[in-house]
Amino acid sequence: MLADQQFLRIPGPSPIPPSVQLAMGKPMIGHRDQEAKSLIKQLKPRLNPIFGTKEDVLILTGSGTAALEMAVVNSVEPGDEVLVLVSGSFGDRFTKICQAYGIHVHRLDTKWGEAINPKDVKTYIQAHPNLKGVFATYCETSTGVLNPVKELAAVVRNHSDALIIVDGVSCVGAVPVEMDNWGIDILVTGSQKAFMLPAGLAFIAASERAWNRIEENNTPRFYLDLKRYRDNIKNDTTPFTPALSLLFGLEQVLRLLETEGLENVFARHRLMMQMTRSAFKAHHIELLTPDEAASPTVTAVKPTDFKAEAFRKILNEEFKVSIAGGQHQLKGEIFRIGHMGYCSPADVLQTISLIEIALIRIGKTVELGKGIEAAQKTYLA
């Protein structure tokens, strides 16, 4: 293989479009100069349709986890009762962030590979009337599950006074989200997934109801103080030094998304998911998640007659294709294929072709081209 060739098919960071790479190479500017203010001014309204909100989408220089912590520290206080909906590793991360701030955490766990059931949430919150917040993960990256956040938000809103706070890091920009219409109070995402950028930017928006709670929150915070970001964004700036090169890239990312059209972006991701899943079904290789809970951005596969890690190793060594392994209790049990952001059906067909060869290399009997054929038929359907 070519020494510098790499096919990145993990669920983040995702590949970066060449035009975005070029945009990030622009000469640096002063972050307090008018040119930077003009850049932020024109970026602001273009983020609203992706979040489905009329509220300001705030830009944070930091990872997605920084924004998750920002959501926690601004919305609830030490001693408050919250419910964390856990369907995988990143729901568990929300739990750990809350516990780090002395928040009283209730967990509602579901089997990894299954989506959170809104009926279970309704039952739980009715039994715990003092909840101040409910934390949910839209796409659980560790399992390839897309949780029904629209229905979850409706349950929380209809049966409690708790805020509904959503981690959308691995799917916002690739799936529909209507923050205002669905009643989501705080929504978070990051730059290195469907936004097709390197890690280093995070985005967060809050509802009017959430802002009322944030204003009353006395938890000490400095860099992660949402009020600072809100006050600064109104003046087309940020409270602390922004990652300007990433903002240059973000401008081009938004141009690409607008050119394709968000509905077409969402349809492309659904199609790539369906193509990937149909290929593994054709080879009778078990998928971790059922169709109704499957994420358009990442597919988790649970082999029963070959080793996931051995398969990943062959795929990387022979073809420089990187796919992700399992996390925590699924470590060594599954592998995960990312199909988000700068990824197309052509990329999926190439990946499936190489996967079929790697399966034969590790000794699994498969019919070459059967998965490709299934994916092609899905594409043509």
Residues annotated within a binding site for substrate? 336
As a whole number of angstroms, the distance between CA 181 and CA 349 comes to 36
As a whole number of angstroms, the distance between CA 302 and CA 201 comes to 32
Of the candidates 236, 229, 231, 232, which has an alpha carbon nearest to the alpha carbon of residue 34?
236
Listed in sequence order, the residues at least 6 apart from 189 whose beta carbon sits closer than 8 Å to its beta carbon are: 64, 67, 168, 169, 171, 172, 173, 195, 202, 203, 204
Per the annotation, where are the binding residues?
A: 336
- Angle CA 36–42–43, to nearest 5: 85
**Sign of the alpha-carbon dihedral angle for 330, 201, 171, 350:** negative
Token pair recorded at residue 188: 């978070």
As a whole number of angstroms, the distance between CA 176 and CA 305 comes to 36
Listed in sequence order, the residues at least 6 apart from 375 whose beta carbon sits closer than 8 Å to its beta carbon are: 275, 276, 278, 279, 348, 349, 352
Beta bridge mates, 206: 186
Q: Do residues 325 and 266 lie in contact, with contact meaning Cβ atoms separated by under 8 Å?
A: no
Q: What is the 3 state secondary structure string of 283-351?
A: CCCCECCCHHHECCCEEEECCCCCCHHHHHHHHHHHHCEECEECCHHHCCCCEEEECCCCCCHHHHHHH
